[in-house]
Structures are given as structure tokens and as C-alpha cells.
Structure 1
Amino acid sequence: MGNVLGARPTVAQMQAYVTKSWNHVSLPVVQYFRRGWFSFRFTSAEDMDEVLKGGPWSMGSNSLVLKQWSPNFSMEMDKISIVPIWILFPELDPVLWSVVVLRKLASKVGKPLYADMTTTCKARLSFARVLMEADLASELPEQVLINTPYHGQIAQPIVYEWKPYYCSCCAKLGHTANFCKQNKDGQPVKKTPSAGTTAKASKSGSSKDKTKSVVSSTAEQEDSEVQLQNSYSVAAWNIWGFNDSLKHLEVRRFLHQNKVDVFGLLETHIKQNKESAIFSQFSPYAVVSNKIQTNAIIFVYAKNEPQETLALWDTLVGLSATSCPWVVMGDFNVVRGLSERVGPNPPAIKDIWEFNSCLAQCHLDDMHCIGSEYTWSNKQ
């Protein structure tokens, strides 16, 4: 059984997705039931297990929840808080690398189901990967304490490839309590939407007289902030060079169509003597370059150098001490899980864990992605 969180695809759309994504097995018969649930009837249990083990799956930016049918299966999404999630144990001590130990470790998070094939065969020792059923109504731990025979007690990090949104107010999947209409005050908590960005909170209120601003970063790594007092539309774009007049036209069109108030341009590579001439085209926007010390919006462009990336995460953790609402957005040059990148070279688990740890310490929520899930390709 499957349900796409936050979307209601048609049978034809689901059939097309299955044909494209599950072509490594005999394709199942796809049928629609109700409330967004689809049935997938496989010709063999082996094919079904192959699909369940191959996740997480998503349609565009929406996650596809798959659960094996049982007689007590409920199709009511508002009654489901237990979902299958892949978890990773990065840099696991080789002494602990066994099916029995992995099952015990995973049981600290939820109900372990099975490990993937490369973990079972020990073909990859950089991390262990286990599928488990987690109860989203409970807090999911970021680490587990292990008593080892040679190193004493150690804290083993846990990386979640995917965490579905779960609302503690209405007990439904697909959104958090901050977005729920049934929160404690009876009013929805509004957040500033920014696709593909990370946000802790948002602005409220409105203003007819708004000061527009463009924040430009030409450095390799900068964090830029602009103080806001009311409700604003905010966007960021890694433009990868901003000397072409066609890009100037495209950005002006984007700002006008989306009524953007604050806009962050990353990797502009503009020479200092040309900056004034280029940005004079963007009136009435006021242009500021690189770092400004305020605390409402932070635009980030992260380097690919590990040490400097760690320094950036530390900086964000330090800035998170503010009591003011803030938004962090830009190009972090890292992903939150293995499913966020495709290609022959998987992302480093250590980088994923460090980034997720930073977001957890900053109490930042990853906003839903809208549009293309993969936004860059080297065409190889």
C-alpha cells in the first residue's frame, strides 16, 4: 500500500511513476482505493521486498509512504504515525557490525525490519543502513549510547534518510504543528515559505511601504543578513556568474513576477568596478554586498572545503542563540540524505550527519521543496 504525502496523484500518474522507478522488478498492478492510498499487487514476494528495501521513494518533492498490507491495515492517514524509515549508522565500529547488534541498535529508534544488501554483505563499511518502522508521535533520537568491549561507552550518531512531517496537534502526516490549523491558539502559525531552504521561524504582519533589497555575495563563502520588521517575500538564487545581460533580464523578470522584497544572489563573480553599473538596473532595490550584521535573514553560500564548512556550521549554531525569528537560505553544498542526490558518487555520510546535526542544534525546519527535486546536473 502506498500514499503520497501532500499530493493526490491520479492512477495514470502513479502508473507512470511505477513504470519509471520500479523497472528493476516485474511491474505490479496499480489500483486506487481511497484517501490517497494506492494498492500495488506484485507477482512475487521477492519483487515486493526489493521495492520496500530500495526506498525511500518520492514523487517529485512529495514522499511516497509504502507499507505492507495486513488484515488490520488502516487507510486513514490521521490514524497513522508509524512509517518505514531508512536510518544510517555512520562510521560504525567494526566490532558492532553484525545482524544482531544492528537489530538492537535500530530497536532504540523503532521496530527494525531489515538491512540493505550492501550492509548485510559488508560490501560498504563506511555506514550501516537499516529499514525500520518509527513512531513519529515520539521524538526520534539523534544518537544511541553503546557499551563496547574495547572503547567503553560511545555515542553512535544516527542519520535519517527521510523524516516525514507529523503534526502533534491533529495527529496527521504531511505537516507539522506550526502549520496546523488546530494548534493550541486555534490559529495557524505562519512561516515564511522558501523552497529548498531551511527556516526556523517566520515573519508576521504586513506593510504597504516596503524597502526592497538585493544582497549580493561574490565571495566563496559568506553569510548575509538583513533586518526585517514585517511580512516580506524572500528568495535566493545561485546565479553562477552575473555578468551576462541575459541573466540580468531573467532576474528582473523573476523579481517582478514573484514580487520579491529581499533577494540573495550567490556566486555572482562580478568584478568590483562593474558592480555599480550592473545593479543600477535593479531600482528600486537597494544593493548590499557580503556580510551585514543583523538577525532576520541569513543567505549562505558554503565552500566545499570540509574545515571551512564546519566553521560555517559553528557560525550558524552561534547565531541561533537569538530569540528573533530567522530564515537561513542559499546554497549549502551538502544534502540531508542519500535520496537527495543521484549519480555514481554518493554523498559522504559524515557530511550529511554534520549538516543535520547543525540544523538540529539551530532548531531549523527544512521547508518543503516545490518544483524540480534535482536542480543541477553536470550532464555526465
Structure 2
Amino acid sequence: MEEKNKHVLRNSVVIKVLGSNVPFPMCSLELRRQWSKYGGFHLTSIGMDWILCSFKTEEAVEEVLNGGPWFIGGHIVGMDRWNGEFDPYSFKGITAPIWIQFPCLPLYCWDEDNLSRIASRFGTPMYIDGNPFRWGKRDFAQVYVKIDLEKKLSNGVWVEGSACRFFQWVEYEKVDLLCYHCGRVSHNKDDCPDEVTQGTRDQASSKVVADKPGNVIPEASSGMIKLEYGPWIHVHFKNNRSVKA
């Protein structure tokens, strides 16, 4: 019977809306409106704010997983193909395509190769917004990236540039349910299971070499870093005109 049930679920996707207090009826209404072009599908609430979407064809599953980004009530939707190892207490395998923004990126890095190179440190780059060389049209660079939601969202990365090694900040679009304590999605700071005081261990062993309100950067020799989080990490875009990365 287990194998039979798995066969029935072979064209199913598990999703979770990255926002608090989004009722199932609202999710159902929005998903049916957005995904109706992929044919019929069945929606089931399976607890812990997870929803199972069962499609009729494999093609529909691929279209949904590779499409998007999908939003419900302004909140981004994380998803993955259902399999027998699905755990409602974990975000393992769950991804979401997210627009990320690089504020104050050095101008000599404003090309598709460098943007893709830097974006790959956060996930799998898919699209670059517009023409990166039209500097007069914007004050930031942004890339569409598929991100693993099980991992902590990085506040930025060190980049080996031709002129020098620099730290590049990153901001995320519409990832509203983000813990400012541990940097993970799916819960707020008040519900964070991590008992360690925010940033204490990092700040105790770090030397401040650059500053942003409420944040510190360890010295360059520490390599990949872990930083504090805050409202500044969120960003919203008015227009998303993109080209393939």
C-alpha cells in the first residue's frame, strides 16, 4: 500500500508560504488562479502550514517548479517535489526563486559574468535584471536566484575583485518570514529555537573592519562570515525586467 500511495503522489509538490498567518483558503484561491493554466490539480493542507499540490502530469510539476517566483498575499512560496523523505519539521530540499540585490556593487563588477559569479555564492543564478551596464538607471544590481531555504540566508560574501578583496552586502526581496537571530526562514526571532544570543559568538571573535547599522564584518582572514540580521536585509522592487543569466 505504501508503494501504491507513493505512485499516486508521484506528481505532487509540497509548498510553504513564507509569511505568518496566511490561511489555507487564501492559499487555495491564489494558487488556483495562478496555476490554472497548468491543468487541474488537488490541494490538501497537511499540517504545519504545509500544502500538498497534486497535479495530473509530470509536465505541470516541472512548469510550476521552474516557474515563478510565486507569491500569495505578497509572501513568497517555497516548494519542492514531494518524495518519501519529506519531513514537515525540516526545510530540506525546499527552494524558492528570489530576487537578490547587491547595493553599492563596484562598477567594474557590473557585467553578467561577475554578477552571476557573485550570485552563485547565494544559490543558482537564473536571470539578471535588465542591462547591468545602464548605470544611470539604478543604484544597485539585482539577480534572480534559486535559493535553498534550509540554509541560513547570508548577509553577504567576500569577493576577490581585480582591485581588491571587498565585502558585498546582499538584500532579499519579499522574504518576510525571516529570523533576525539565526538567519533562517520559516520563523520569526521570537520563535527562534537557537538559544545563543544574537551575534555574541561572532562579535566576540571578530575585528570590525567595516560597518553598517546594527552589523559588523569580521576581518578578511576569517573568510566566509556570519553576520547579524535586521530589517535592512529586505527589499522590494517595482519593476522586474530580466534577461537570461
> TM-score, structure 1 length as denominator?
0.37
Q: Residue 173 of structure 1: which of 164, 186, 194 is its match?
A: 186
Amino acid at match of 2:164: G
Aligned length: 183
1:68 alignment partner, SS class? strand
Cα deviations across residues 103-146 of structure 1 (Å, max 9, x unaligned)?
4312323x315225x45x76976423121324565361235423
Q: Residue 161 of structure 1: which of 162, 173, 194 is its match?
A: 173
- Corresponding residue of 1:338: 236
- Corresponding residue of 1:65: 77
The answer to whether the 8 Å contact 1:2/1:64 transfers is no
Shift of 1:335: 11
- Corresponding residue of 1:80: 91
- Corresponding residue of 1:141: 155
The one of the two structures with greater contact order (alpha-carbon pairs below 8 A, sep at least 6) is: 2
Shift of 1:28: 5.6
The answer to whether the 8 Å contact 1:136/1:166 transfers is no
1:79 alignment partner, SS class? coil
Shift of 1:48: 2.1
The answer to whether structure 1 residue 34 and structure 2 residue 46 are counterparts is yes
Q: Distance in 1 between matches of 2:61 and 2:152?
A: 31
In angstroms, what is the RMSD of aligned CA positions?
4.5
Point out the structure with the larger strand share.
Answer: 2
Greater C-alpha Rg: 1
Shift of 1:154: 3.8
Unaligned runs of 5+ in 2: 1-13, 197-211, 215-231, 241-245
Shift of 1:21: 4.5
Q: Distance in 1 between matches of 2:166 and 2:180?
A: 32
2:146 alignment partner, SS class? strand
Q: Distance in 2 between matches of 1:167 and 1:91?
A: 22
- Corresponding residue of 1:3: 16
Shift of 1:167: 9.1
Unaligned runs of 5+ in 1: 186-313, 318-333, 340-344, 348-380
2:81 alignment partner, SS class? coil
Q: Distance in 2 between matches of 1:133 and 1:70?
A: 18
- Corresponding residue of 2:142: 128
The answer to whether the 8 Å contact 2:15/2:78 transfers is yes
- Corresponding residue of 1:352: none
Q: Distance in 2 between matches of 1:65 and 1:29?
A: 17
Amino acid at match of 1:14: C
- Corresponding residue of 1:16: 29
Shift of 1:338: 1.9
